[in-house]
């Protein structure tokens, strides 16, 4: 008998706070949007998606249609949204109260979308 292999597709999208608007837009046009276009054609392929808080803030303002698409994929069960710290700090390097605050801030942000 062979072993069953399980592959988990986890995508991490990030742009740092203060990055240039053009970098955000180019990354959206060349990466974030095309990725959803392709995966949307394969609804039987589930994946997990983490988008940093700074990138999510930009997407809400610049491309709300992206948020709507991700919401639809989540509602269909194709995508699982992964939380995390809002501004992508190295959690082990910051005080515990700040770790909790970062995760809580991002969780609240996502719930309010």
24-52, pLDDT tens digit by residue?
A: 999 999 999 999 999 999 999 999 999 99
Query: pTM of this prediction?
Result: 0.91
Tell me whether residue 14 is in a domain.
yes
Which CATH number goes with the domain that contains 74?
3.20.20.370
Rounded mean pLDDT, 69-94: 97
Tell me whether residue 104 is in a domain.
yes
Q: Could you please report the per-residue DSSP string of 9-75?
A: -EEEE---TT--HHHHHHHIIIIIHHHHHHHHT-TT--EEEEE-HHHHHHHHHH-HHHHHHHHHHHH
Instruction: Please report which confidence band the pLDDT of residue 2 belongs to, taking 50, 70 and 90 as the band edges.
Output: confident
Whether the per-residue pLDDT at 56 is higher than 80: the answer is yes
Domain that holds residue 17: 10-111
Instruction: Please report which confidence band the pLDDT of residue 1 belongs to, taking 50, 70 and 90 as the band edges.
Output: low
């Amino acid at each position: 008998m062979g072993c069953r292999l399980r592959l988990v597709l986890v995508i991490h999208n990030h742009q740092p706070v203060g990055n240039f608007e053009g970098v955000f837009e180019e990354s959206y046009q060349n990466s974030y949007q095309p990725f959803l276009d392709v995966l949307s054609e394969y609804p039987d392929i589930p994946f997990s998606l983490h988008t940093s808080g700074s990138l999510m803030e930009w997407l809400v303002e610049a491309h709300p249609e992206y948020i709507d698409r991700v919401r639809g994929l989540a509602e269909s069960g194709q995508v699982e949204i992964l939380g995390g710290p809002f501004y992508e700090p190295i959690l082990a390097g910051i005080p515990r109260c700040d770790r909790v605050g970062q995760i809580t801030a991002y969780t609240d942000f996502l719930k309010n979308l």
